[in-house]
Structure 1
Amino acid sequence: MPMRPFWLAQALEADTSAPCVPLAQDTDADVCIVGGGYTGLWTAVMLKQQDPGLDVLLIEADVCGAGASGRNGGCALSWSAKYFTLERLFGVEEAVRLVKESEHSIQAIGAFCEQYGVDADYRLDGTLYTATNRAQCGATDSVIAALERNGINSFSKRPVADVQRMAGSSKHLEGWFSPAAASVQPGKLVRGLRRVALQLGVRMHENTAMTGLEEGRPAVIRTPHGRIRAKRVVLAMNAWMARAFPQFERSVAIVSSDMLITEPRPELLKTIGLTTGVTVLDSRIFVHYYHNTPDGRIMLGKGGNTFAYGGRMLPVFDQPSPYAGLLQKSLAQFFPAFAQVPVAATWNGPSDRSVTGLPFFGQMSASGNVFYGFGYSGSGVGPCHMGGQILSSLVLGLDNPWTRSPLVNGPLGYFPPEPIRYLGSLLVRNAIRRKERAEDHGRRPRHLDVRLAKFAAAAGKADKG
């Protein structure tokens, strides 16, 4: 059995429910959902909420939450920081709508937890976008100005002293605060979604991998011990889509986000002032992100470390982070008082990074009944709720702003073929590291490194939740 990352291990320990038995025979369903993470479970829940009589069956290759949904950073963020990308791709009207909807989804996750009694450590305490060196200062100004022009700005610039107090660290040199963000324990959220889906009547089989898909009406999903004949299919496999379906192999790059979490030190958190669930992100391209936990820990992560050749799921994605030393160094720099606090766990996982930094959705069958969505690019906690709205609307054949959105037009760009993609990813990653190291030390980075870094910067902040 692979190592369970900290969040999921903690959630499974608290979850007394029995695993859903693997599929052992042929069966029929109105809708078959492949994937038991946020996207698949939100879709299942929303389908049953809108049409309780619909026969929805969900299969998961491992246990629900074993993928990105049980191991992310727990930062539920809006798409405000992605406004320029949204406007460039979709125009002002749709960009404004999507920013508003992304903020609504964060509120809706909290309302869901309250309605169904899901204890996911949900805290609507906002987010801080900060600068941690002089080169980063002002990096957020232009996007805030654009949000303000369009009447959708939730950010306010705070005095440096307030930023350092709220963030618990003197490393921050400036900061913008928005109340429209939350932190969660991601494993508890995904296991709560699983419980609610079962309560609503979703049929579920864990430890049941899809081994093949035969398109048609009905579509047939093959598994090791049974076939599912389904009128409609939702593929909610995220990073695993690129390996399962060759047409998507170049639509995402698989890259790790690496995290650590400390042992509980609630009194020390009070001393440094990090006493709310605020999520904090610096202005790097591969950002540092952190928040505390209700039991007194600090979780800190950093994206953009391990790149997978050809979209493969590397063994390292199910192991402690190989960048533990780097994470501990960052922890000590942000929080000198925590430098000697033991680390409870480190982990990492595969993130499906799209060309634009945005997820994409669509229909991939000649029969018109197979739907998909992935490419959350390391920022899926909030947007997966939007993904559930999109996919449930597509499945039900609705005509609404979600099914009319250009988000449902499939991939919005492709990476070069291998080995160019892999070598190019490493080239850009290493240039970003050199650029940001120079900036941290107050030096001007090399012109070539700045140019190479722009390939990643075009898609916005990466890998944070």
Structure 2
Amino acid sequence: MNTITMRPPVAAAPSDRSFWLQSIGADAETLPLQDSADCDVAIVGGGYAGLWTALRIKEQSPQTRITILEADFCGSGASGRNGGQVHSWFAEIDLLSALVGQDEALMLCRATADAIEELNGLQSAGTIDMELRLDGWLWTASSTAQEGAWAAAADLCRRLGEERFWLLERADILRRTGSDASYVGIVEERAGTVQPAKLALGLRKLALARGVVIHERSPVLEIAPGERPQLRTASGSLTAGKVVLAANAWLSAIPELHPYLYVVSSQVIATAPAPDILDRIGWTDGASICDAQHHVLYYQRTPEGVVIFGRGTGGIAYGDRIDARFNRGIDGGADNMRELHRVYPQLKDVPVLYDWSGPIDCTAQHLPVFGHLKDHANIFYAMGFNGTGIAQAPVAGHIMASLVLGRNDTWSRCGLVGIDKRSRLPPEPLRYLGARVVRKAIRRKNDLEIVNKRPDPITRFLAGLAP
């Protein structure tokens, strides 16, 4: 019986936490695990995936004893660091169809649209104040190379009878965003933005109210598999009938999963409030906006007039070993500020008050995967959210609940279950060295294309090797 060793966590210092977390003073509210305890289902990770899994299990089996072990505090990881963008899986329906077939892809996309309505219901009922604003999600092009990036997904939606996206022209984008950097795109109207840390902490409160036990500041050091696995922390141990691993990028430490998972960084900045400027240029609502660079830009304005501006940087580490560099970039947000001022030159004199980073768990197909470890049918995993999770995690919760509870249903038979159909990634050191070369090519390609210059053939070839 081989012990599963988990990677020691690297919690962000308070000053390196996201704007979202700092602005509401987010922190731990539950006690660390002490001594020994027992439960039916242990969940490693108190982010969206772990919390939604717990809530879905409680919906179907209220008597199930669930304990969540969180290394730092709920929402301190990707769930409280992201760009706060909410949109359905219809933008990835072409990727989903290639993996699971059109019928199931359509089911999953509709499920994420339902999840957006579920979030809206939680807010409308006063259950979770997440600042959800369904003012649309814009997918745009700001250079000729980006034009039509959405065509495959939008065309497939139309063929399947789903009118989810509407074409935007330059005047539409300027009116909705206050920026003329992008000049063509599409919009998903039933989408928008949230305050992601408020959502995570709201889910924590909801889980506690429904009888889920949560221990924060309780990183799992190792798991001893068996009929009833035992999870060991620094100050206690937890025995469970079943275990759910929902620790996103940290699952790269597990040898069985690492060949299918790679970790990259995404960097985000937040400006000082500038509501007068934003109102003057016409950027007044809670729409979320992306452009179609390979290292995508994503941005929104908060109700207070703070601009959140993020960019997937593709930052990597050897062996996917996550360290403090994944909590805050070394450039002080300079790369993001350059792009912010390109898209919004009106903000060049507005100070940037926050910059932060975070690891993202990616698969080659850019879609999450669920299942159980090969030799341990009672240890389950959910991973590979690729930076898109606010509307997707509620669906992941359905899948995980069915797997954990042993249901034979649409969710447990879902094509996202099972790692055998996923592409394996190269081993080290080829993985790290190759990723560095490809990342450099992507950045060079992005910088040329954004000014409508064509990259050289070698740059295009190398950038095309990205998963």
How much has 1:85 moved relative to structure 2?
Answer: 1.6
Alignment-derived partner of residue 94 in structure 1: 104
Which whole-Å deviations, capped at 9, do the CAs of 1:116-164 have from their partners, x for residues lacking one? 5211111111111111012222332233112110112300102320111
Kindly indicate whether the alpha-carbon contact (under 8 Å) linking 2:290 and 2:296 is maintained by their aligned counterparts in 1.
yes
How much has 1:342 moved relative to structure 2?
Answer: 1.0
286, 289, 303: which one aligns with 2:295: 286
In the alignment, structure 1 residue 6 sits paired with structure 2 residue 19: yes
More divergent stretch after superposition (89-98 vs 288-297): 89-98
How far apart are the structure 2 equivalents of 1:281 and 1:335? 14
Kindly indicate whether the alpha-carbon contact (under 8 Å) linking 2:115 and 2:391 is maintained by their aligned counterparts in 1.
yes
How far apart are the structure 2 equivalents of 1:154 and 1:259? 28
Question: Within 5 Å, which residues of 2 pair with 1:348-387?
Answer: 348-364=357-373, 366-387=375-396
More divergent stretch after superposition (321-330 vs 65-74): 321-330
* Identical counterparts, % of pairs: 38
| Structure 1: segments with no counterpart, 5+ residues | 460-465
| Structure 2: segments with no counterpart, 5+ residues | 1-11
How much has 1:387 moved relative to structure 2?
Answer: 1.1
Normalization by structure 2: what TM-score? 0.93
Amino acid at match of 1:12: G
> Structure 1 residues 112, 50: CA separation in 2 closer, same or farther (over 3 Å shift)?
farther
How much has 1:10 moved relative to structure 2?
Answer: 2.0
194, 202, 211: which one aligns with 2:212: 202
Question: Within 5 Å, which residues of 2 pair with 1:48-447?
Answer: 48-115=58-125, 117-243=127-253, 245-319=254-328, 322=331, 324-364=333-373, 366-410=375-419, 412-447=422-457
Which whole-Å deviations, capped at 9, do the CAs of 1:331-356 have from their partners, x for residues lacking one? 11111111110112010000111111
How far apart are the structure 2 equivalents of 1:318 and 1:367? 32
Amino acid at match of 2:240: A
How far apart are the structure 2 equivalents of 1:146 and 1:365? 35
SS at 2:359 equivalent: strand
How much has 1:431 moved relative to structure 2?
Answer: 1.4
Kindly indicate whether the alpha-carbon contact (under 8 Å) linking 1:10 and 1:187 is maintained by their aligned counterparts in 2.
no
Kindly indicate whether the alpha-carbon contact (under 8 Å) linking 1:116 and 1:196 is maintained by their aligned counterparts in 2.
no
How far apart are the structure 1 equivalents of 2:317 and 2:430? 13
Alignment-derived partner of residue 57 in structure 2: 47
CA-atom RMSD, angstroms? Answer: 1.7
Alignment-derived partner of residue 459 in structure 2: 449
> Structure 1 residues 450, 365: CA separation in 2 closer, same or farther (over 3 Å shift)?
closer
How much has 1:366 moved relative to structure 2?
Answer: 3.6
How far apart are the structure 2 equivalents of 1:447 and 1:189? 44
Kindly indicate whether the alpha-carbon contact (under 8 Å) linking 2:87 and 2:188 is maintained by their aligned counterparts in 1.
no
Kindly indicate whether the alpha-carbon contact (under 8 Å) linking 2:86 and 2:137 is maintained by their aligned counterparts in 1.
no
How far apart are the structure 2 equivalents of 1:29 and 1:116? 31
> Structure 1 residues 258, 96: CA separation in 2 closer, same or farther (over 3 Å shift)?
same
How far apart are the structure 1 equivalents of 2:352 and 2:376? 51
Kindly indicate whether the alpha-carbon contact (under 8 Å) linking 1:58 and 1:204 is maintained by their aligned counterparts in 2.
yes
How far apart are the structure 2 equivalents of 1:267 and 1:329? 22
How much has 1:320 moved relative to structure 2?
Answer: 5.0
Kindly indicate whether the alpha-carbon contact (under 8 Å) linking 1:166 and 1:273 is maintained by their aligned counterparts in 2.
yes
Between the two proteins, the alignment pairs up a number of residues equal to 453
